[in-house]
Chains A and B, each alone.
Chain A
């Protein structure tokens, strides 16, 4: 089986999943908007755009700010669930031994089969969010927001794949059955400044947030919310940080998941 076959099976897996789970598809399309409407609706009920700008300390459009935040939050959650949580799902379904005994390394299977899903769904969500962006910013939504958000989705995924695979390796070794990612994922989003910028946090939280790849993806995507156009230098700097993190986390996860696999196969307790 080649890597291309793994990639192709990932594509078909998703297409047939959608074909047989229409309710899931509708829910998937509705969720980001529900989250966005709740935050914006409650925000405008209890406060105002002026207070938002004064609290954030920057001249940003709250609607664009939360559209980009929601998009990245959904995409990041998807990576963390589908790569980090894959070990849990396989363990629950009883398929973990098969994945571990397959010719490819677990990390390669998790990542290669997942990439088509990520690209398909994150760009569907980006397309879904284009109308509010065009309403707010007109043609600039297509010239500035669309490219920046696309780059954020792609470059932001690279370190997060490795980061999530580290969780997969930990779950493999600890033989944890309970769904610890259900609370770990929102904590990661909170510390990444998903809906509340991380620079407003206390020092200890800011230190943790700098080590999380999602923090920088949120920062990159939210550059679109600035009323004035974002500087190219700023964009390149954040992309550089994300690429550096990609190298670090993927190298770390490759080693860690390899050791975890060996341990799981050696102990026979998978």
Chain B
């Protein structure tokens, strides 16, 4: 069954290859547009630090945004095709099929981050990929897991109630505003609280791995990230179970996103 789900998502990825390229290109271009605006404020001497910090924050946000829209948003399509009932009748959890979007979201995020980095690096001649690979990978895995679970959570909610895609986009955008704040500007006594906001700890770890944040809170950041991921897992699991039980008793109403 897992093999079939993986095959399905790879097949769709190939069928919609131009959409896939569009997503990568458009994400990178929007990011470049915003980064250019921010860089106008930065003195030349501070450019390497600011660029690294902004780039890795946006890389992190790009994962969050891709996962929540490609996993959560795909639910709309899945519900409207009547696929939820079809899968339940065959004893397959529809959420397992939706989780397969992990493949699409991971590929879109990875290629966007690489393309965006190469583009900005060539424009400003500042090395962006000089990072601690192990720490950066850990952070990206955590942020992907949290985003996938968040995507599943909103999928589960959208099976029972409407979810405004506009508000999800606004929420996604608000996340970048929180992530971009350097930990050094947060008062010392509030730093752990700041790291406890969802996604902030893995984003901090990623920035620390790139050298754009002091590594003083790495240990605490790792701990908070793991606890948060487990909490996301529990919440998503409960929401998915409740949605499945609700669908079995009441059927699916084609609500989803609008």
- A interface residues with partner B (beta carbon < 8 Å): 23-24, 26-27, 30-31, 34-35, 37-39, 41-49, 51-52, 54-56, 62, 66, 69, 177-180, 182-183, 186-187, 189-190, 194-196
Contact = CB atoms under 8 A, between A and B. Distances in A.
A46 B42 contact: yes
B contact face: mostly helix, strand, loop, or mixed:
helix
A217 to B, nearest CB: 16
A69 B34 CA distance: 12
A55 to B, nearest CB: 5
Contacts of A23: 164, 166-167, 258
Nearest to A69: B37
B169 A27 contact: yes
8 contacts: A39-B34, A43-B41, A46-B46, A48-B43, A179-B19, A182-B26, A186-B30, A195-B33
B1 interface: no
Interface in B21-43: 22-23, 25-26, 28-30, 32-34, 36-43
B177 A56 contact: no
Interface residues of B, number: 40
Contacts of A31: 170
Interface stretch (B95-103, B135-143, B179-187, B246-254): B179-187
A44 B177 CA distance: 13
B33 A190 contact: yes
B4 interface: no
Contact of B40 (A37, A177, A196): A196
A42 B54 contact: yes
Contacts of B167: 23, 27
Contact of A34 (B46, B164, B174): B174
B30 A24 contact: no
B174 A45 contact: no
Nearest to A193: B36
B166 A195 contact: no
Q: Top 4 closest A-B pairs, CB basis?
A: A195-B37, A47-B41, A43-B41, A27-B166
Given A27-B166, A41-B177, A46-B53, A187 B34 contact: no
Given A45-B185, A186-B33, A39 B38 contact: yes
B171 to A, nearest CB: 11
Nearest to B42: A47
A182 B25 CA distance: 8
Interface in B212-235: none
Contacts of B7: none
B176 interface: yes
A43 B41 CA distance: 5
A62 B41 contact: yes
B93 to A, nearest CB: 30
A195 B177 contact: no
B170 A52 contact: no
B185 to A, nearest CB: 7
Contacts of A45: 180-182, 185
B77 interface: no
Nearest to B29: A186
Contact of A195 (B29, B40, B49): B40
Nearest to A30: B170
A52 B40 contact: yes
A32 B46 CA distance: 28
Contacts of A44: 41
A26 B166 contact: yes
Greatest chain B CB density within 10 A among A24, A42, A179, A187 is at: A42
A256 B25 CA distance: 27
B173 interface: yes
B170 A27 contact: yes
A38 B176 contact: yes
A58 B49 CA distance: 25
B173 A190 contact: no
B36 A196 contact: yes
Contact of B37 (A179, A187, A196): A196
A54 B185 CA distance: 24
A164 B166 CA distance: 25
B18 A34 contact: no
Contact of A38 (B34, B50, B164): B34
Nearest to B45: A51
B41 A52 contact: yes
A27 B165 CA distance: 10
B177 to A, nearest CB: 6
Contact of B22 (A30, A46, A179): A179
Contacts of A24: 166
A186 B26 contact: yes
A39 B31 CA distance: 11
Contacts of A48: 41, 43
B2 to A, nearest CB: 29
Given A179-B19, A182-B26, A39 B37 contact: yes
